[in-house]
Structure 1
């Protein structure tokens, strides 16, 4: 039952957990010891392949491996990230084994400008299970998505792989290994990617990006520090705080000491956001929320998790503000901000409509490669109806695309349009989302509670006419949970 993290185990009675594991295994989930030998994730039915000629795409198809970034005139930003096993001594004196990019976790914060051509050379020094880099939330060519067995092979010790893409969408993103990510992200193979806009929609004096992570399932770290984070800010200054939840579980974040705005979700700006006071913001695993607030004339602003006291950020000096009422309401984007007509509505005609019914670790009653692929064709408009029937929260993440949230529990959104790459569902929630199939490739759709993904809560959204020369399974060693 290794893919389930310890906190997930505590959330369910043992008997229910055993039942879930048995069901996941029976349905073909990737419980340890049940990984199939070889799967072609580029096929509609994920057929098992017995022949060895995987280097040539099938007739009349385009290989994901050949889908690369188009020429561009923007500046080139080049980085090198070395993945390695690294013993760390945390700022509280405790020691921890970690897997790091460039010797730290999180790895280096990569800041680029909208339109920059980003080139990252990944070197695997000694991670014997192989590594990749998935650029979480970034819309890029199929070959650069960092999914082992789908868009590339895992990078083994002594090997290198170079990623190259254009940072077309400004916003807050992050990166992590997608090879056995339920383990590798927890061990520390994560980092931040910030794409600054050519023209800023909001004014601010300070810009901070903060990662919440749980290293080795026991160390609660804020930008790699235990016991919380202290950031500089002066009275009257406006602060943009980018919150990245690299943990599996939902974090309920509160802001004490100032009114604030939610100006961006998953890196995408909101239209006309209003001031908020004393609400809890639920940020699912992998999601990002950008907050904007002005420092008070005296005292601090404190941004912190409702459930994890070590995940806190103190800004400024002076009097510590009173905590947010623990029973305060939760932020809900359904009526937040100002409407803006973009032509995408629940009433428009869609070329294909798919349903996703979510169980504890299943999608549509199936698991892993047994979940039928959602097939799409370039140029189509796709609607997906998600319904959470059983289990804990599911932050569902779509690779390679931004989607628009159409409805929540049958009610159309009344505020700002919400564009995102993930949607957080609690039990009983129903959402309709829509996306334009304008980025051909083979794309994962999975729960970003990575323990759920490892148990089989992952599927594919594949374009017609796209193939892959790579294979998932124990034979290749490519395990993209």
Structure 2
């Protein structure tokens, strides 16, 4: 499918005009049932046919849920697909039985059945929800949505707009049909299922009208299954305020942002474009830099504000690295580097050829797929350090369920709280977390092509 996207330096292009930017967020209950079912939407530009997708409540992305911190979320999943599904509430610290992982925390929900999720929202921030059953196909067909948990009244930043921006890509044929080559061996053994059509909120370019000099809160969510977005900004002063739902101690001024699959970033931005000009958020691709979001600035020009204050913190544990137990993790496999020593899959030691024949290409510490024994068996309250060495030729987005971690950096510094960490080829990085949430939690690469072909394990907290 060949679709044009406007290059930053090419001047104004034809794009659908979108409404005025939304005002400051207000707490709302949102839907109480999410129905996963086939739907048909205008995903490609209007001169193409509509696209058959799988959607929550016939929407792509699914309906954004807005709640206040401390609310109890009660949500019924209704499955109208022809295969089993679940909902994983990505990034939320919740009871283990509500985590939505088939075979680990719940049974998969069969077609025609329902499952009720209920848990307290203990953290304010930007989170998202998606299936954890056959996740490569189900997410790639459109099943994903955003959950916003707002700070208490009086603690929210003073902004003129609060907008969710869902970044995604799709693998489309020339007739705007989603290709059904899920599980292709090349994808599973290489970088994952990369699409050829990028959208923001299911649109090829999102256009908004914003006040010149206004301050906005932009909640970016990468729901793509493999694409790492390398974002650039023009006509905006940008501060990074939170990552993966967790506020930074101090907003960080930046000019570019890398967002791996499953990661989120809350940005506070001032519109510096003059009235009549446009501000842009763009994606840097191999063939150029292309606008994803265009913000048309309108006058009168507002006065420049001081740099934003930090968002109120969530209640996070204290990481004492001196008392931490270290459990090393080595990522191996994939094309070009392979598994020279083979791996253990379903209790059997196999060479690379046999593993590839079974559709398995990756290993954690020589273990392929979900083993019987966890990577870590932690006592409740124990601090765990995991140095992760990526010996593969590809990037991996490592995601921990149920808890957040911090990266341990040189000189004793710690990075911000995260639930998903991007490791480039050849990198070694170390994370630490407090095992303060009892249960069995997945720890896996959030590129589903990699997860389903070997890159998953689990952590037991008792």
Match of residue 36 from structure 2: 83
Deviation digits for residues 335-358 of structure 1, max 9, x if unmatched? xx9xxxx995675211x3211111
In structure 1, the partner of 2:199 is 221
Q: Does the 8 Å contact 1:121/1:160 carry over to 2? A: yes
Q: Which SS does the other structure have where 2:140 is aligned?
A: helix
Counterparts of 1:134 and 1:378, CA distance in 2: 23
Q: Does 2:117 match 1:139?
A: no
| Alpha-carbon offset, residue 105 of structure 1 | 1.3
Q: Normalization by structure 2: what TM-score?
A: 0.73
How far off is 1:391 after superposition?
2.1
Moved more, 148-157 or 173-182: 148-157
* Residue pair 1:78, 1:118 contacting (<8 A) in 2 also: no
Q: CA deviation at 1:231?
A: 2.1
Counterpart Cα distance in 2 of 1:366 and 1:120: 35
Inter-partner Cα distance in structure 2 for 1:203 and 1:79: 29
Aligned to 2:126: 172
Q: Which residue of 2 aligns with 1:100?
A: 55
In structure 2, runs of 5+ residues without a counterpart are 1-26, 171-177, 179-194, 300-310, 335-361
* Correspondence for 1:254 among 232, 251, 265: 232
The DSSP-based 3-state class of the residue aligned with 1:369 is: coil
Q: Tell me how far apart the structure 1 counterparts of residues 291 and 143 of structure 2 sit (CA, whole Å).
A: 19
Q: Distance in 1 between matches of 2:407 and 2:318?
A: 10
Q: Which one of 311, 316, 322 corresponds to residue 296 of structure 2?
A: 316
The answer to whether the Cα contact below 8 Å between 1:346 and 1:406 also exists between their aligned partners in 2 is no
Equivalent-residue separation in structure 2 for 1:262 and 1:368 (angstroms): 35
| Alpha-carbon separation, structure 2, partners of 1:120 and 1:261 | 33
Quote the residue 1:380 is aligned against: 382
Among 267, 270, 277, the residue aligned to 1:291: 267
Could you tell me how far apart the structure 2 residues matched to 1:392 and 1:368 are? 18
For residues 182-231 of structure 1, what are the alpha-carbon distances to aligned partners after superposition, in whole Å with 9 as ceiling and x for unaligned? Answer: 11100111001111111536332211111111234444221011x21012
Correspondence for 2:284 among 306, 312, 330? 306
The residue aligned with 1:18 is none
The 1:302–1:371 alpha-carbon spacing in structure 2 relative to 1, beyond 3 Å, is: farther
Write the deviation string for residues 391-412 of structure 1: whole angstroms up to 9, x where unpaired.
21111000000112222xx454
Residue in structure 2 matched with residue 155 of structure 1 by the alignment: 109
Structure with bigger strand share is: 2
Structure 1 distance, partners of 2:436, 2:424, is 29
Q: Which runs of 5+ in 1 are unaligned?
A: 1-73, 320-336, 465-481
Would you say the 8 A contact 1:245–1:283 is kept in 2? Answer: yes
Deviation at 1:377, TM superposition (A): 1.3
Larger RCO: Structure 1 or Structure 2 (Cα < 8 Å, ≥ 6 residues apart)? 1
How many correspondences in the alignment? 362
Contact 1:228 1:310 in 2 (8 A): no
TM-score by length of 1: 0.71
Find the counterpart in structure 2 of residue 241 from structure 1.
218
Query: Where do 1:255-404 residues align within 5 Å?
Result: 255-276=233-254, 278=255, 280-296=256-272, 297-298=274-275, 299-307=277-285, 312-317=292-297, 344=318, 347-350=321-324, 352-359=325-332, 360=334, 361-370=362-371, 372-373=373-374, 374-404=376-406
Against the structure 1 CA distance between its residues 236 and 318, is the aligned structure 2 distance closer, same or farther, given a 3 Å change threshold?
closer
Q: Is the 8 A contact 2:199 2:292 kept in 1?
A: no
Task: Give the stretch that moved more between structures: 453-462 or 76-85.
Answer: 76-85
Do 1:406 and 1:434's aligned partners in 2 also have CA atoms closer than 8 Å? yes
Corresponding residue SS for 1:233:
strand
- Contact between 2:317 and 2:434, CA under 8 Å: does it hold in 1? no
